[in-house]
Structure 1
Amino acid sequence: MENPITIREAVTENDAAAFWEQLHMYFKRDIFPDPNDRNREYFLSDSEYRAHVQKIHDRPEDRCFYLFFHRNGRDIGFAMPVIYTSEDGKCFVMEYCV
């Protein structure tokens, strides 16, 4: 296959910071382009939205993953799925952007 896309998990602190930076850029550009949108502040908040997602990421079961899509030596997108191993591997994709 030419130019395959690989998926890698953000496992280091630097990876997680890069993931959240990309997620915030996506929110500003694609989801809440109006700076006055009252929902924008919540989703860009580290003390609310990020803190809640981090709890899901850090729990031992049915956790969230910070993933990057990678091709030709660079990140081309990201995803934030929650995989429910306790429910036959059901997957809920909270956010994604390519």
Structure 2
Amino acid sequence: MKMMKMMTVVMIATVAVPAVAQRSHSVRGYTRRDDTYVAPHRATNPNGTKLDNWSTKGNVNPDTGKAGTVDPYAPSRLNSSRPTYGQQ
């Protein structure tokens, strides 16, 4: 019975650990156009939604413990020239 439990734990870990590890990636440090330096950090993988990003309200960065502050429904600063849904 103990062997069966141990095998189950090993099988779950074998599947779960790689899945969790692939949800984020490392970002190298870089300098922005305005000469602001951005230090190396980890980021969630792009997936077409803003709701699961670590900086989004309701989420917590697992590396830093910092709670997200970004409203996922606010218009994006990056795309401020583009109309948002419902606007023309």
Tell me the TM-score normalized by structure 1.
0.21
Which structure shows the bigger proportion of residues in strand conformation?
1
**Which structure has more RCO (C-alpha within 8 Å, separation ≥ 6)?**
1
Larger Rg: 2
Which structure shows the bigger proportion of residues in helix conformation?
1
